[in-house]
């Protein structure tokens, strides 16, 4: 039996017992009085006490069956209401748990979808240049947090592209930007600003298409397609 079914069963038994317990004792007292009166009536008619007691009980009938019928009549509404309450509570509980699960799952899926879109979508709004950009350029592959790269020139959709994480390659950026325009042949990647600016990579569209260039971009890299 599942936990839910067991819980409902426990509630049902508990509420049924609570509702019918008091009613049963009152019914018993009522029957006891009636049987006592029958017994006295028989004794008055000359029947010995012991025999009168037996005959009174026999005439009254099955106390257990009669008690059950009377208790059912007296408590059926209360028990029904309690059972409905128990069922509604269980349904509400399941609904809340289900809703919570859907929210958690939805958030996770949304996060995954946003992650995927971060690389695919663009151009994005250019951010203010951070202090990190002012650091000396390095030829080492970037390992820092996500940032933005810039691409211009003979490209399908020039602009600023957000990079979700370190490791975005030059080929991926050109592909995300709609590919090189017809007639464009060269690609350059610049890193750093002013006197610290260096050219990280220079390659051709043909080499990129052939997979010969594995340049990995860093935040704030500037890509020029000519």
- Which residues in this chain contact another protein in the complex, by CB under 8 A? 26-27, 29-31, 33-34, 36-38, 59-62, 65-66, 69-70, 73-74, 77
Q: How far is the CB of 21 from another protein (least distance, A)?
A: 16
Partners of 151 in beta bridges: 159, 223
Helix (H) or strand (E) holding 68, with range, is helix 63-120
Q: How far is the CB of 15 from another protein (least distance, A)?
A: 19
Q: How far is the CB of 41 from another protein (least distance, A)?
A: 8
Q: Give every CB contact of residue 52 below 8 A, 6+ residues apart in sequence.
A: 39, 40, 42, 43
Q: How far is the CB of 13 from another protein (least distance, A)?
A: 23
- When the beta carbons of 6 and 34 are compared against another protein, the nearer one is 34
- When the beta carbons of 30 and 226 are compared against another protein, the nearer one is 30
Cα(171)–Cα(86) distance, integer angstroms: 61
- When the beta carbons of 71 and 180 are compared against another protein, the nearer one is 71
- When the beta carbons of 16 and 179 are compared against another protein, the nearer one is 16
Helix (H) or strand (E) holding 44, with range, is helix 3-44
Strand-pair category, 186-191 with 198-204: antiparallel
């Amino acid at each position: 039996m599942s936990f839910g079914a067991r819980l409902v069963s426990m509630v049902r038994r508990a509420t049924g017992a609570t509702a019918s317990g008091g009613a049963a004792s009152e019914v018993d007292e009522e029957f006891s009085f009636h049987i006592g009166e029958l017994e006295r009536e028989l004794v008055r008619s000359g029947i010995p006490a012991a025999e009168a007691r037996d005959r009174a009980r026999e005439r009254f009938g099955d106390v257990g069956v009669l008690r059950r019928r009377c208790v059912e009549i007296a408590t059926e509404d209360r028990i029904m209401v309690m059972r409905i309450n128990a069922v509604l509570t269980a349904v509400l509980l399941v609904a809340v748990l289900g809703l919570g699960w859907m929210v958690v799952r939805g958030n996770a899926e949304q996060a995954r979808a946003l992650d995927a879109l971060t690389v695919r979508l663009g151009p994005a709004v250019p951010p203010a240049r951070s202090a990190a950009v002012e650091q000396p350029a390095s030829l080492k592959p970037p390992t820092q947090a996500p940032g933005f790269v810039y691409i211009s020139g003979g490209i399908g959709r020039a602009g600023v592209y957000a990079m979700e994480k370190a490791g975005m390659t030059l080929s991926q950026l050109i592909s995300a930007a709609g590919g090189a325009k017809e007639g464009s042949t060269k690609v350059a990647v610049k890193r750093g600003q002013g006197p610290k600016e260096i050219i990280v990579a220079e390659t051709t569209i043909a080499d990129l298409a052939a997979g010969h260039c594995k340049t990995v971009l860093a935040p704030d890299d500037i890509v020029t397609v000519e």
